[in-house]
Amino acid sequence: MGELTQDQVNEVCAELKEQWSRKVEDSGRTEPVFIALDNTGFVSNFMYNYQVVKEHIESLGLIMPEIVKGITVNIKED
């Protein structure tokens, strides 16, 4: 596999955004309520994975587009 490009990152993020939007829509809730009331672990897992990938992408000098507006994720190791 060759070097990762910004276009590839943008494509994957567009797909992730689509999946996220579909999940929110399927819940029948607004996005903030979906985030606040999720008891399945989907939101926390999604946000954690997004942040891990974002940090890696940015370490490569690329930009990870925002998928969920207004959310900041901080990962702290215990």
pTM to 2 decimal places: 0.85
Angle, nearest 10°, between helix axes 6-27 and 42-59? Answer: 170
pLDDT in tens, 13-48: 999 999 999 999 999 999 999 999 999 999 999 999
Domain ranges within the chain, ordered by starting residue: 6-59
pLDDT for the residue numbered 71? 85
Q: Reduced to 3 states, what is the DSSP secondary structure of residue 64?
A: coil
Mean of pLDDT values over 60-78: 88
Say yes or no to pLDDT of 1 above 60: no
